[in-house]
Structure 1
Amino acid sequence: MAELTLIQRSPDPEQSSARSRSRRSIAEKIRSLGQNRIGALVLLLATVAAVAWANVSIGSYETFWDTELMIGVGDLHLEFTLHALVNDALMAIFFFTVGLEVRREFAIGELTSWSRAVVPVVAAIAGLALPALLFVWVAADSGHASAWGVVISTDTAFLVGALALVGPRVPGRLRVFLLALAVVDDIGALSIIALVYTENFTPLPLLIAAAGLVGVYFTRYLRGGRGPVYATLAVIVWLAFLASGVHPTLAGVAIALLVPVYRPDRRDVEHALELARTFRQSPNTEYARAAANSLRESISINERLQSAYAPYVAYVILPLFALANAGVLITPEILGAALVSSLTWGIVIGLVVGKFLGIFGSAAILKTLRLGEFGPGLTLDRIAGGAALSGIGFTISLFIVDIAIDGEDAQNQARVGVLAASVIAFLVATIVFRVSDAFHPREDTGQTLVRPVDSRRDHVFGRDDAPYTIVEYGDFQCGFCLKASGSIQEVKAELGDQLRYVWRHAPLTQYHPNALAGAEAAEAASLQGKFFEFERGLFSDQENQRPSDIVRLARELGLDVEKFERDLTAPEVTGHVRDDMLDAEAMGITSVPTLFINGRRHTGPYDAQSLIRALTPPAPEPTPPTER
């Protein structure tokens, strides 16, 4: 076992107090929640506006979206309505961003490890199949049983926004679970649109699309000017899909799956830093352009495109889609027809009941059988709330209503069903989350260690049967963590084999830009049995933890550097750090170091003597015998 020896030095004078760091972290979380809420609220306002517009002036609503447009030169031109422009062209951009997310999750995200992916994958598949079966069963006599695709998909935008509005107090791990589930859900929905709801199929244009997609793949090897090439090929592929009869929005998915995604390479990052340093020493246009291009190229085009398009999708494309498709006419006659329509009830039961039973039921079975990975905070009551929230099918549901159901009356009944199901799912989820929070008292949140110490997973210094345990959630760039490490060393010297010390990661990335990289590097070093040696090296030089410094430290410790660099982006490394961070969030840890003494959160000073007193409280005085 490595010797636990840490170099102690004074805290960074620029570090803020723990209290101010906590306040800033809370403010960051509030801003993050606000961003998620805004997208959902804008979508909701567009939906309300569409319903109001359709009912105030149904003629103007339909006339506006039926306005015909023509684009072209000479004999080459396209004719389409405003409604088709939104559903066929703008929604291709939406599905493009969905495809980017799918590609990222399978390459470097949550779905890279089967043990992590099995629960959301199985839950998503059950959440696709059961709603469709219930819909067919309920709507069999409506003449629209083939429209079962309406109930299969969850609206990710509404899901994330609603989770921010009504979700549990600590939504982190549930949010990761629901986003992974939504990715698989999207794959299923897109596949069904392509295979089931494609009419008048003409294969020849798909050969042109295939050639365009090959071009998209090889564009990554161009040294420059890739943006215009991607854009030109994307238009060609979209037009080929349109001509083939396959819904053109799927062109966006096909292109997105070929866009490269990778974690930043340390050499690219170092090169960008060198160029930035050169620009700082000699500011001019050439160096500025070179530094900006190098910084941009160090991030994969997948992630750059997601960041670039996300605001337009959330604040423009999806609201326009809602405005063009949610304009259901609500009259006593239509509501009366919807109330007795098996089509409407099939949609409501499919989305509300089917999604809930499929997702929650499959997760409960997996947990009972101990299959897959359920981290702290991902309890069945919280999964129940997420499963209820998944009944909001809105975007893709309305999209499939438009392509799978003929007849204005039937479409109105279907839209009433989609809107009603979304409202009911939101209300049910709100109730479930409030009941769930009632069983997780606020005053006890974070006072008890949520994940028991496991020597097979955790970084443990000391014997497993030691009577005393300190678990530290820390950050390798934090001066206060360095100070605490010196105190813990003194405690270890005093208690010897009676103490077991455990390190877990809680990098404060908003204050320490290299903290996350340091945590992942320590995990990569642990795969070669050198975690505590690497920890000691990081603490001894907190000011220099850039990628080159981290690799230099690995070389100095005698690690296999090639394996170390590969492991830096390995799923088990990034997943371990992420799990520690989610555990920290679940316990309300907003400043470091945070110590748990024998499983209970320590408050107060963390000098050696205070820690020893907390570890070994005096035995209670014996109660004197009572006289008879």
Structure 2
Amino acid sequence: MALTPRLSGQVAARAHHSRAAGVLQRIAPFFAIGEVSGGPLLIASIVALSVVNSPLGHDYERLWDTALRFSYGNLAIARPLAEWVNDALMPLFFLIIGTEVKREFSKGSLATLRTAILPVAGAVGGLVIPIGIYLAFNYGTPTQHGWGVVAAMDTAFSLAIVAMFTTRLPAAVRAVLLAFAAIDDVFGLLVIAFAYTATLEWMYLLGAAAAYAAILLLLRAGWVASVAYILLGAAVWVCILGSGIHPTIAGVAIGLLLPTTSRLSEQRFAERVQRPVDRLRKAQHAVANSDDEATVVREREQAQSELGYIHEMAAATDEPAERLVRILTPWVSYLVLPLFALSNVRIHLSGGLIGDALQSPLALGIVAGLVIGKPLGFFAAAWAAAALAGARLPEGVTWRMIVGIGGVAGIGFTISLFIAELAFAGSEGTEMAALAILAASLISGMFGYAVLWSAAAPAPAPAPADESTRQ
């Protein structure tokens, strides 16, 4: 979620002209377009909290609970608007997660056993310890089944905090966090699939498997046109939805299929387009210098043909996984996740609720699991992997930074709220869990930021602006 070098330089330059630019430079990572960003999600969460606790709160919740109905002949499906957001839009977010997981395992920090040991061990610790802490508070109570709430972190917020130290922390810190997040999210999705699925419709599940296999066959055959993949992906989603498993799993499953290498290398591209470029130049020259209308029409058609060939060759140099993430990311960051927050954050803040939370095993288990369990589990397991399995910290990364990574991993906002809705749907536990997740995420975010700030290199002093710079 770091800003691009060019954009980072632009923001830094603005600091010479405006004091506000320094503040903008701090918050810019929360609104970066390049990857899923947490800024719009944060704003939407604040708006939802404000409206729910205003006189408009009842009407606002009723809006999201209103059934949206689709029908064709005798076939009809009606679900509350909030469920459509969770079931139809959130799979796009998990599609990006699945793609990122695939990229990490194929060419990122998890590509080799040696580089994967530390984040894998840390992720296991970051799963087991928080769940153990939660169960210590809730074992044998009606809220015991909510242990999945502390299983996964919020990748968008965590990466945004690390991105605030773009020039002061080693790049490997972000790589470790991303690898940790990839495995952590996989655990969270497995929790959704197996712990919170009540019944299975096997015919639908077989249909999803058939559509999934068809996508695999098309990939094997080198099929390029995207329409077939879109239709089969939609079929996977529909069948997963009908099977009883939450459709977010469809997003992850399809993301894991996306190729992480391009069909054509840059070198082969240069070799293949040289002659078409020459023919294009020749055709343009003929159009510009010919008075014969038939010749002009023929050469223009030739030019268009060469441009089409060059366009297709250029598209072949693009990695499918990267292209899909690039297309989906702005929509997920600025539409899907904000809609999720607006429809799911329904915490009625009151003295009574907060007082109950301070004595509730559910709330205490969630806060302790995320705030204490995540950094403790990640650090302890990573240290054990280094001591017993020969894992090494990446160059420039210190153990204090590992604690900071574990700290921001305690931000469990998006997936935690998602799992809480599945675990406590229709009960009072949903609101209590949401309040605890909000509190834990705030504490974890501040703790992680403080630790990373103490571990980061000092910020470079801004260069003095001369008269020409101010003008």
Q: TM-score range by the shorter chain?
A: 0.7 to 0.9
Which of residues 325, 329, 350 in structure 1 aligns to 2:344?
325
CA gap 1:24/1:112 in 2 versus in 1, 3 angstroms: closer
Cα shift at 1:270:
2.7
User: Which ranges in structure 2 are unaligned for 5 or more consecutive residues?
Assistant: 13-23, 32-36, 285-302, 462-471
1:109 aligns with 2:91: no
1:50 aligns with 2:53: no
Contact 1:141 1:342 (8 Å CA) reproduced: no
Per the alignment, in what secondary structure is the counterpart of residue 199 of structure 1? coil
Q: How does 1:36-435 map to 2 (within 5 A)?
A: 36-38=29-31, 39-56=37-54, 57-140=56-139, 142-165=141-164, 169-220=168-219, 226-263=225-262, 265-266=265-266, 268-271=268-271, 273-274=273-274, 275=276, 278-279=279-280, 282=283, 284-369=303-388, 371-435=390-454
Q: What's the secondary structure of 1:200's corresponding residue?
A: coil
Displacement of 1:254: 1.5
- The alpha-carbon deviation at position 278 of structure 1 amounts to 4.8
Quote how far apart the aligned CAs of 1:243 are.
1.1
Q: How far 1:376 moved relative to its partner?
A: 2.4
1:220 CA drift (Å): 2.6
State the 1:190 CA deviation.
1.0
Q: Write 1 or 2 for the structure with the bigger share of helix.
A: 2
Q: Matched residues in 2 for 1:289 and 1:150: separation?
A: 50
SS at match of 1:69: strand
After alignment, is 34-43 or 170-179 more displaced?
34-43
Q: Tell which deviates more after alignment, 221-230 or 122-131.
A: 221-230
Tell me which moved more, 281-290 or 97-106: 281-290
Tell me the amino acid that sits aligned with residue 122 of structure 1.
Answer: A
Residue 9 of structure 2 is matched in structure 1 by: 27
Partner amino acid, structure 2, of 1:336: G
**What's the offset of the Cα at 1:320?**
1.1
Match of 2:288 in 1: none
* Counterpart AA for 2:46: V
* Secondary structure of residue in 1 paired with 2:152: coil
Q: How far 1:168 moved relative to its partner? A: 7.7
Q: 1:189 deviation in Å? A: 1.0
Opposite residue 339 of structure 2, the aligned amino acid is L
In structure 1, give the amino acid aligned to 2:58: G
Match of 1:452? none
Deviation at 1:280, TM superposition (A): 5.1
Aligned counterparts of 1:33 and 1:391: Cα–Cα separation in 2: 21
SS at 2:71 equivalent: strand
Instruction: Give the 5 Å matches for 1:442-453.
Output: none
* Aligned-partner Cα distance in 2 for 1:79–1:260: 36
Q: Could you say if the C-alpha distance between residues 25 and 338 of structure 1 is closer, same or farther in structure 2, counting changes exceeding 3 Å?
A: closer
* Partner of residue 20, structure 2: none
Deviation per residue, 1:306-342 (Å, 9 max, x gap):
1111111112111111111122111222112112111
Question: Helix, strand or coil: the match of 2:410?
Answer: coil
Aligned partners of 1:166 and 1:430 also within 8 Å:
no
Q: Deviations over 1:479-532 (max 9, x none)?
A: xxxxxxxxxxxxxxxxxxxxxxxxxxxxxxxxxxxxxxxxxxxxxxxxxxxxxx
State the alpha-carbon separation in 1 of the partners of residues 240 and 69 from structure 2: 19
Q: Structure 2 vs 1, CA of residues 63 and 114 (structure 1 numbering), >3 Å: closer, same or farther?
A: same
CA change 1:297–1:197 in 2 (3 A) is same
One-letter code aligned to 2:81: L
Q: Distance in 2 between matches of 1:127 and 1:222?
A: 40
The structural deviation recorded for 1:371 is 1.8
Shift of 1:60: 1.4
The whole-number CA distance in structure 1 between the counterparts of 2:117 and 2:227 is 39
Letter in 2 for 1:73: Y
Larger radius of gyration: 1
Query: What secondary structure sits across from 1:260 in the alignment?
Result: coil
Task: Give the Cα separation in 2 of the matches to 1:171 and 1:37.
Answer: 19
Larger displacement relative to structure 2 (288-297 or 245-254): 288-297
Other structure's SS at 2:53 match: helix
Distance 1:65 1:102 in 2: 32
Provide the rounded CA distance (Å) in 2 between the counterparts of 1:50 and 1:280: 57
- Please name the residue that 1:554 is paired with: none
In the alignment, residue 309 of structure 1 is paired with which amino acid? L
After TM superposition, give the deviation of residue 261 of structure 1 in Å.
2.2
Query: What amino acid is aligned across from residue 123 of structure 2 in structure 1?
Result: A
Contact 1:142 1:343 survives alignment (8 Å): no
* CA pair 291-52 structure 1, distance change in 2 beyond 3 A: same
Using the TM superposition, give the Cα deviation of residue 279 of structure 1 relative to its aligned residue in structure 2, in angstroms.
Answer: 4.1
**In the TM superposition, what is the alpha-carbon distance from 1:406 to its structure 2 partner?**
3.9
- Quote the offset at 1:58 in angstroms: 2.2
Give 3-state SS (helix, strand or coil) of 2:349's partner. Answer: coil
Question: Which structure exhibits the higher relative contact order, with contacts defined as CA atoms closer than 8 Å and separated by 6 or more residues?
Answer: 2
Could you list the per-position Cα deviations for residues 540-585 of structure 1 after superposition, in whole angstroms to 9, with x for gaps in the alignment?
xxxxxxxxxxxxxxxxxxxxxxxxxxxxxxxxxxxxxxxxxxxxxx
Correspondence 1:513-592 to 2 at 5 A: none
Cα distance in 2 between the residues matched to 1:133 and 1:184: 18
- Structure 2 CA distance for partners of 1:285 and 1:245, relative to 1, 3 Å: same
Structure 1 stretch displaced more, 263-272 or 377-386: 263-272
TM-score scaled by structure 1?
Answer: 0.63
Report deviation, 1:40: 1.8
Equivalent positions of 1:487-526 (< 5 A) are none
Q: What SS does the corresponding residue of 2:385 show, helix, strand or coil? A: helix
Unaligned runs of 5+ in 1: 1-22, 445-628
Q: 1:369 to 1:281 in 2, by over 3 A?
A: farther
* Structure 1 pair 281–77 and aligned structure 2 pair: CA distance change class (3 A): farther
Secondary structure at the counterpart of residue 164 of structure 2: helix
Is the 8 Å Cα contact of residues 33 and 164 (structure 1) preserved in structure 2? no
TM superposition shift of 1:221: 5.3
Query: CA offset at residue 441 of structure 1?
Result: 5.3
